[in-house]
Amino acid sequence: MSNLTRYDPFSMDPIPDLFQGLFRPMRSILSQQDTELATMKIDVSENDSAYMVKAELPGIDKKDIDVQIDGNHVSINAKVERKEEQKEGERVIRRERYSGSFSRAFSLAGDVDENAASAEYKDGVLSLTLPKKAPADRKRLSIG
């Protein structure tokens, strides 16, 4: 079994502490933000008549959320634009921008009735109610 290790270009033996100490604060801020913005946690539950989906999308405008349903396939797409600035007096201490999009797609056990589906976005949580489509009657062929 082989062991995988993470490559860190700043871990050169003669000067690792110099570079790691210099860039560590920025790396931790960026990785924390990327993780927050690039993940979408979802819960899916069902009863006899519908599927219920709850997706966490904190800090996103509802106009930037797109939900698509195709049979039993559901996809949730969101665009994010964040601008943050910290000032100390008249000097800008830190300015950060983030722009991107992320999505989540999954398949359900049965088809969804797209016309009766509903969505609500409140307090950073997208709630979808996806009614199950009634099973179509199977056509029986007679053999002649």
* 40-131: CATH class: mainly beta
Count Cβ atoms below 10 Å from residue 128 Cβ, excluding itself: 22
Under a CB-based contact definition with an 8 Å cutoff, are residues 53 and 42 in contact? yes
Reading the block at residue 69, the tokens are 């349903």
Per-residue pLDDT of the chain (144 residues; tens, 9 = 90+): 556 666 666 555 555 555 555 554 444 444 444 445 557 899 999 999 999 999 999 888 889 999 999 999 999 999 988 777 777 777 777 777 778 888 999 999 999 999 999 999 999 999 999 999 887 766 778 887
pLDDT at 48: 92
Reading the block at residue 7, the tokens are 């490559």
Cα separation, 106 vs 124, whole angstroms: 20
- Strand pairing of 91-107 and 73-88? antiparallel
Residues 6 or more apart from 12 whose CB is under 8 A from it? 19
pLDDT at 19: 53
- Tokens 């050169």 found at: 12
Under a CB-based contact definition with an 8 Å cutoff, are residues 50 and 106 in contact? no
Q: Which of 108, 125, 137, 105 is closest to 50 using CA atoms?
A: 108
pLDDT at 46: 94
pLDDT at 9: 62
Reading the block at residue 93, the tokens are 């201490």
pLDDT at 90: 76
